Copies of this chain bind each other. A is one copy, B any other.
């Protein structure tokens, strides 16, 4: 297994050259002065070290050992508590946090790169601080000032961790039917009773306290999703002076045995009249959760990228080292028994597929993060515009990065041949670990439905038009550059194909309630491919004039060419399937399956 080396050059290229992040940071209120190029680079450099030296070395061993449960107490694998302590000492838990409560207030554009490194090194580890950061976002946005002061500083510090308690055995996608209930108490708190499953970090031995954000229903709540409220339920109650008091009635009943992310404790939690405090308004719990959902969903997408990058680095090293057979063009290393397998066109196809999908994804995650930053720090029309872009692009990022994350890790395993199937090489773990990212935080089918239905059909394509206009603006700006024609012309055609599929889906939905769901998954993938084409064209636009300077730019241009020649054609098939209508799906009786 290769040693993990953070792709800092690629990250610098995107942040500074393609997206000119420092110009944005310099003008957004709340970011000016807080971050510039030097600060950003120093932060990336530090995480590159932490990821390589602290998080990566406990990834394989964490998978082998897994988490353990004993009478309600969860133990994480060897080295995890120490790594968590190092992580917290570095202040990483506060990176994006609100400065009023001890956060560093950094932009998501930077945070996205930091997250990628953590996830490349160790997805299981990443989940503990990621869930805490998510809980902090919800608390910061919706909790009372008292709760914020009481909880946020400790959570940013990492000495208290967070957990999100949504799913129940009978209620996953459909949270409207949850049964956990909250009884109001005289002192203003609530008594929470019920069972939750699939709770990441529901218990662990890393932090002093665990702050659960729990969805539950008040006794008189309306049925369905409009009757759900959000509660903060600490594992240990917090005394007025901030010290830990007695144990709350929340216990971990068991942990799941899973395909992967085995060092991440996935807990079944029991609430037996646990004390909790309302976060946000009564019956508006789902809306409060959705505040942080855009961040969390992009974060899950980035897990897919992180695993892909790790797999690519391993596969590339193996393809250079493994000697097997001869190049079709004749021996390249005549003094050796065979040539390295990277001489073979199909091995190159595999590696370039990884490289192109990772590069496209990393660029798109930076682009989405840019809109998240404008939505958070911007004002007026610009903020509204950014919010629409975030709403539209989030499901694409979550589902496309993770679907391509499975493809990439499977390819990276395939490059190893039989050795890819053996645990010690690490490639198969990446496949198992990344597989969950297509499922949790809303399955990728749900993401596609969100994109097709709520984000596109429901507003008559208004959000989509903003995205299309952004791509068109780029095309218009580049149309006269002769050397860009190989990218700009196909980008324009594929944008047109996506526009037609969008119009088609909106039109079909007027008469057919099944139209969005029937088109959704292929529509999302078509969208993803056009977005990657846009990203690669932007990268090529910056890199082309610099190909003489540095091999890196050559690599960018050639990867862009590969993307356009070999991967973008998938848009043809995806559009045909997305446009095929719902009849072949719905006109078959359930008994005929």
Q: A: which residues have CB within 8 A of B?
A: 167, 170-174, 176-177, 197-198, 256-260, 316, 320, 323-325, 328-330, 337-338, 342, 344-352, 355, 406, 410, 413-414, 417-418, 420-424, 428, 431-432, 435-436, 438-440, 443-445, 448-449, 513-514, 516-518, 520-521, 551, 554-555, 558-559, 561-562, 565-567, 569-574, 576-577, 580-593
Report the minimum CB–CB distance from A123 to chain B (whole Å): 13
Contact of A346 among B323, B424, B517, B587 (CB under 8 A): B517
List 9 A–B pairs whose Cβ atoms lie within 8 Å, in order of A's numbering. A172-B418, A174-B338, A342-B593, A346-B448, A350-B445, A352-B585, A417-B443, A555-B588, A565-B577
Report the minimum CB–CB distance from A527 to chain B (whole Å): 16
Contact across chains for B582 and A565 when beta carbons are under 8 A apart: no
Contact across chains for A177 and B562 when beta carbons are under 8 A apart: no
Residues of B within 8 A of A566 (CB): 577, 580, 584
Contact of A591 among B346, B514, B551 (CB under 8 A): B551
Report the minimum CB–CB distance from A157 to chain B (whole Å): 31
Contact across chains for B558 and A588 when beta carbons are under 8 A apart: yes
Closest to A449 in B: B346
Contact of A439 among B320, B420, B559 (CB under 8 A): B420
Residues of B within 8 A of A573 (CB): 569-574
With A259-B431, A324-B172, A580-B566 as contacts: A414 and B352 at CB distance below 8 Å = no
Closest to A572 in B: B572
Closest to A453 in B: B328
Report the minimum CB–CB distance from A294 to chain B (whole Å): 21
Residues of B within 8 A of A572 (CB): 569, 572-573, 576
Contact across chains for B514 and A345 when beta carbons are under 8 A apart: yes
Contact across chains for B414 and A444 when beta carbons are under 8 A apart: yes
Residues of B within 8 A of A444 (CB): 414
Nearest 9 CB-CB pairings of A with B: A569-B576, A555-B592, A345-B517, A259-B428, A573-B573, A328-B513, A572-B572, A345-B518, A174-B324
Residues of B within 8 A of A520 (CB): 345-346
Contact of A585 among B420, B562, B583, B587 (CB under 8 A): B562
With A337-B177, A410-B406, A518-B345 as contacts: A418 and B440 at CB distance below 8 Å = yes
With A324-B172, A517-B328 as contacts: A555 and B346 at CB distance below 8 Å = no
Report the minimum CB–CB distance from A92 to chain B (whole Å): 27
Q: In the complex, what distance in Å separates the CA atom of A449 from the CA atom of B413?
A: 19
Report the minimum CB–CB distance from A506 to chain B (whole Å): 15
With A258-B423, A328-B517 as contacts: A320 and B590 at CB distance below 8 Å = yes
With A177-B337, A420-B439, A517-B344 as contacts: A580 and B551 at CB distance below 8 Å = no
Q: In the complex, what distance in Å separates the CA atom of A257 from the CA atom of B428?
A: 11
Q: In the complex, what distance in Å separates the CA atom of A422 from the CA atom of B259?
A: 6
Known: A345-B520, A562-B588. 16 other contacts (CB 8 A): A172-B417, A174-B338, A197-B418, A257-B422, A257-B424, A258-B422, A345-B514, A346-B517, A414-B444, A431-B435, A555-B593, A558-B587, A569-B573, A571-B573, A572-B573, A572-B576
Residues of B within 8 A of A513 (CB): 328-330
Contact of A355 among B320, B330, B591, B593 (CB under 8 A): B593
Residues of B within 8 A of A424 (CB): 257
Closest to A355 in B: B593
Residues of B within 8 A of A592 (CB): 551, 554-555, 558
Residues of B within 8 A of A260 (CB): 421
Residues of B within 8 A of A570 (CB): 573
Q: In the complex, what distance in Å separates the CA atom of A406 from the CA atom of B406?
A: 11
Q: In the complex, what distance in Å separates the CA atom of A417 from the CA atom of B441?
A: 11
Q: Which of A562, A571, A590 has the most CB of B within 10 A?
A: A590
Residues of B within 8 A of A586 (CB): 345, 348
Residues of B within 8 A of A438 (CB): 414
Contact across chains for A346 and B259 when beta carbons are under 8 A apart: no
Contact across chains for A417 and B593 when beta carbons are under 8 A apart: no
Closest to A344 in B: B517
